Structure 1
Amino acid sequence: MTRPLAIFGGTFDPVHLGHLSVAWEASELLDAEVRLMPASVPPHRPAPIASAAQRVAMLRAALQKQSRLSLDTRELARTGPSYTIDTLLELRAEQGDRPLLLLIGADAFAGLPSWHRWRELFDVAHIGVLSRPGVDAALPEVLEQEAASRRVVDPAMLHALPAGKVIELAVTPLEISATRVRELLAEGRDPRYLLPCGLFDDPAVLAPYRNA
């Protein structure tokens, strides 16, 4: 039984408490190390406003004074789109047979068939679907067929296998939008209780959005 390594990716433009709360809760539910992994060039959304260095600075500030969540910047060093399968293959080569988990929201999971080489993801990692309690997302038939035999409910099962399972994690959603946070900052307002406290310690950290 090996403690899994879970990856939680995103643009984190900026990182906010909604990101951190679900990553923390998933870490507790799974008894896993969770790494936040900022994307360089996200294939499915516009380029971030903040630079890679600025987003890393925000994440470092947000992750201070705790040991459950950490930062992995490998995708920022890669040129071209940040394809998840490439990242997971790289991690698999590093981690051997250690269980790997990809943490994604229920909406993103429903769109998995549009991802680059999506079927191969199950060969390299488990998938943890972050869902709202009591809310079921409809899946396309091709994904439902792929996931049906892979579903498990006991997180301990993921500790014994390196990859291949799907588990639903009912987490507490915080209705925080990075888009809205950027709007507030651009208006000169102070989204004090939407962002981690560490982001307010250095005024330069949030400067990209105040000057947008």
Structure 2
Amino acid sequence: MAAGSAPGPALLLFYGGTFDPIHNGHLAIARHARDELAVPVRLMPAADPPHRPPPGADAAQRTRMLELAIAGEPGLQVDTRELQRAARQPGVPSWSVDTLCEIRAETGAARPLALLMGADSLLGLPTWHEWEHLLDLAHIVVADRPGSVLETAMPAVLERRLQGAWADAPACLRERAAGRVWRLRQPLQAESATAVRRLIASGGDWQQLLPAAVAGYVAAHGLYGCGATA
């Protein structure tokens, strides 16, 4: 039996992000979560996020790069619900809490549901809209970077909110619908999308940081200043 597998309702696992662009670090997180929790991972590209500058590629381009990155990858899927909602409601911010409410309306209150995020996102959670309610709607699965500072850099308000929420085993996420935090512990690439974009714009050695098909797409479409320094 795979690690994390257990009787009970199947966990729905969503990995949200701008994916601007999706890189090997993103894929490492998604693959490890898929394997450790023994469930598919739904990669969910964000619309223009309210808590950071506009993305360097538009929604259609970011979605296409996601599709290219996970082609042939079992258990990895693209979920475009946030982009669809943005198309229906132009100008309305893409709040994660609204997305979770939408998913809850579809699945019901009892289905185990989790958000997958990196350690940086977890540490920044207090800047998110209505962040205190996220654990009322879903579990959180957090993936560390190398040299993580979760223990030393966590804001006090977040530490208080997560007190008593840390799960002892992946199976705990199936025992209730929401409210737990599970920490993935595995070596991940240290790159960030911001660093990748900077390398592309400066003409640095960036291709090995992206899936080959995504690197080809970036080059073919001149994204992120690719070719500008040539």
Q: Identify whether the pair has TM-score above 0.5, normalized to the shorter chain.
A: yes
* CA distance, structure 2, for counterparts of residue 173 and residue 15 of structure 1: 14
Residue pairs, 1:1-212, within 5 angstroms: 1-77=8-84, 78=86, 79=90, 80-96=92-108, 97-132=110-145, 135-137=148-150, 138-187=153-202, 191-200=206-215, 202=217, 206-209=221-224, 210=226
Moved over 3 A (4+): 132-136, 183-190, 200-206
Distance 1:201 1:115, change over 3 A: closer
TM-fit CA distance, 1:161: 1.2
Moved more, 76-85 or 121-130: 76-85
Q: TM-score, normalized by length of structure 2?
A: 0.83
Moved more, 120-129 or 194-203: 194-203
Q: Deviations over 1:37-79 (max 9, x none)?
A: 1111112211011111111111111110112111111111223
* CA distance, structure 2, for counterparts of residue 206 and residue 95 of structure 1: 38
Distance 1:126 1:203, change over 3 A: closer
Q: Is the 8 A contact 2:146 2:190 kept in 1?
A: no
Amino acid at match of 2:185: A
Amino acid at match of 1:10: G
* CA distance, structure 2, for counterparts of residue 27 and residue 66 of structure 1: 11
Q: Deviations over 1:95-151 (max 9, x none)?
A: 223211111222321222221111211111001121247744232222222211221
Q: TM-score, normalized by length of structure 1?
A: 0.89
The runs of 5 or more residues in structure 1 that have no matched partner are: none
Amino acid at match of 1:87: T
* CA distance, structure 2, for counterparts of residue 206 and residue 21 of structure 1: 25
Give me the CA root mean square deviation: 2.2
Distance 1:63 1:111, change over 3 A: same
Percent of aligned positions that are identical: 47
TM-fit CA distance, 1:190: 6.1
* CA distance, structure 1, for counterparts of residue 141 and residue 218 of structure 2: 35
Q: Is the 8 A contact 2:23 2:209 kept in 1?
A: yes
Amino acid at match of 2:30: A
SS at match of 1:129: strand
* CA distance, structure 1, for counterparts of residue 176 and residue 220 of structure 2: 40
Aligned pair count reads 212
Distance 1:208 1:192, change over 3 A: closer
